[in-house]
Amino acid sequence: MNDDVLDLARLQFALTAGGHFLFVALTLGLATVVAVLQTRATFGGRAIDARLVRFWGRLYVINYAVGIVTGIVMEFQFGMSWSGLTHYAGNVFGASLAVETIVAFFVESTFLGLWIFGWHRFDKWVHLAMIWVVTLTAYLSAYWILVSNGFLNHPVGHRTEGGKLVLDDPVAVLTNPSALLAFGHIAGGALLTAGFFVAGVSAYHLFRRTPEWEFFGRSLRIGVYLSVPALMVTATLGGLQFSVLRDFQPMKSAVFSAQAAEIAQIQADMVARFGPGDYVPSEAWTRGGGLVMLIAFALMMYLSLGGAVLACFKKAVYRFRLWHLLLMAAVPLPYLAMIGGWVFREAGRQPWVVYGLLRTEDAVSDLSPGTMRASLIVFTTLFALLAVLNTWLLARHARRGPVESGLGHDDRTEPDDDPAEALPAARY
């Protein structure tokens, strides 16, 4: 295998998978926020709760729509660049990817479309059920993705036939601790991302002395109070992953801990077991990714715990402008932590794509360096454009605030009606 092709393929997958992951994090978290808000609006019937659903729901739909495109693009590069992986292990990890596609593209997308266009057409309880189906299938989709990724990091439930892996124990694959712990960690991280996003957008409007002070004061509290338990869940499950890492991937654990003697011993053991080769992953990427994740976590912990205290005081919520600036500046922190964690998880298992079974160099498609380079340029450019588009759309609609148009707007309402009262009353 040409080293240039291998490096280019790894870089392409890192950029596309990491980029798509950022969309998924906010989508999962915001879907949960919107579902809970709509539940409260449906049971309580308060106008402000219904307006909260519509505003944050609009931002959720934007992020979801662009994220779907990045997912489709990633599938193309995955199939083109990593044929060796699909030929060798596709019978095991491909099944969960297929189920994820059915869940995400058929069930989740269908019910999201019904939720978007069913406003004021379905009964309010039916409409509420739709957003919960969307939310639960989003988490189910994430679970199936992590079943595949968990198998790559800790292959279980398989046997070898004709030089290929085949599924032997589906229960073992579905209950793989590498998948379950990662799923809980990601779910907590997604809620944390949404909490910081909601708090940051709300702080922006409060900093500008918005007339919608009650709306964004309530939103800011939602974001801050969501961040604290999400942070604890993320940290707890992240710690549990570290605790099993020494058994699943001892080399990654040793590299992160910078234990030179242990690294040398594990390298010797792996050479004896798998043959000659360098089994030490990049120390810069592995340790660097882990440290970025932990530093970002520490900053979020201080902001979340301090924010939970400040949010108890109305004057701080509405007038503490320095806190508002900090919340706005902190919006990227969950993304930074997630990218750092993803780099640590994926770079740390090199040189394996299926740990202990298939090396990365054997999984890459037989492509020329020129073809791989052209593919990298095309996919990277497309992902960059989509990221810029998503950021621009989110910023544009977030700045507009809870305008009475767009998602959930009832065209049957007379122009002279008070939209803040008439619109929500029609549904909740």
The pTM for the full model equals 0.89
The residues, any chain, with a CB within 8 Å of residue 54's CB and separated by 6 or more, are 402, 406, 407, 408, 409
pLDDT attached to residue 3:
65
pLDDT attached to residue 74:
76
pLDDT at 76 over 90: no
pLDDT at 113 over 80: yes
pLDDT at 182 over 90: yes
pLDDT attached to residue 402:
87
User: For 6-15, 36-45, 299-308, which range has the lowest pLDDT when averaged over its residues?
Assistant: 6-15
More confident call, 192 vs 382: 192
How many whole angstroms separate alpha carbon 230 and alpha carbon 233? Answer: 5
Mean pLDDT value across residues 251-260: 89
pLDDT attached to residue 409:
63
* C-alpha torsion 237→220→408→42, nearest 10: 70
How many whole angstroms separate alpha carbon 119 and alpha carbon 419? Answer: 15
More confident call, 96 vs 29: 29
Judging by DSSP bridges, how do beta strands 158-161 and 164-167 pair with one another?
Answer: antiparallel
How many whole angstroms separate alpha carbon 372 and alpha carbon 365? Answer: 10
User: For 69-83, 140-154, 248-262, which range has the lowest pLDDT when averaged over its residues?
Assistant: 69-83
Q: Identify whether the C-beta of residue 344 lies closer than 8 Å to the C-beta of residue 286.
A: yes
CA angle at 260 for the pair 255 and 265, rounded to the nearest 5° = 90
The residues, any chain, with a CB within 8 Å of residue 340's CB and separated by 6 or more, are 288, 289, 290, 291, 292, 293, 294, 296
* C-alpha torsion 317→223→197→201, nearest 10: -30
pLDDT at 286 over 50: yes
pLDDT at 199 over 70: yes
Mean pLDDT value across residues 70-99: 82
pLDDT attached to residue 94:
81
pLDDT attached to residue 420:
39
pLDDT at 81 over 60: yes
How many whole angstroms separate alpha carbon 156 and alpha carbon 148? Answer: 11
Mean pLDDT value across residues 62-79: 81
Q: What is the pLDDT of residues 309-348, one digit of tens each?
A: 999 999 999 999 999 999 999 999 999 999 999 999 888 8
pLDDT attached to residue 410:
59
pLDDT attached to residue 70:
82
Q: What is the mean pLDDT of the chain?
A: 87
Mean pLDDT value across residues 33-53: 92
Residues of the chain above pLDDT 70, percent: 94
pLDDT at 197 over 50: yes
How many whole angstroms separate alpha carbon 149 and alpha carbon 11? Answer: 18
pLDDT attached to residue 2:
60
pLDDT attached to residue 405:
58
Mean pLDDT value across residues 296-300: 95
Structure tokens at 395: 């910023």
Picking from 115, 127, 168, 114, the residue whose alpha carbon sits closest to that of residue 41 is: 127
pLDDT at 349 over 80: yes
How many whole angstroms separate alpha carbon 188 and alpha carbon 175? Answer: 19
Picking from 107, 137, 131, the residue whose alpha carbon sits closest to that of residue 41 is: 131
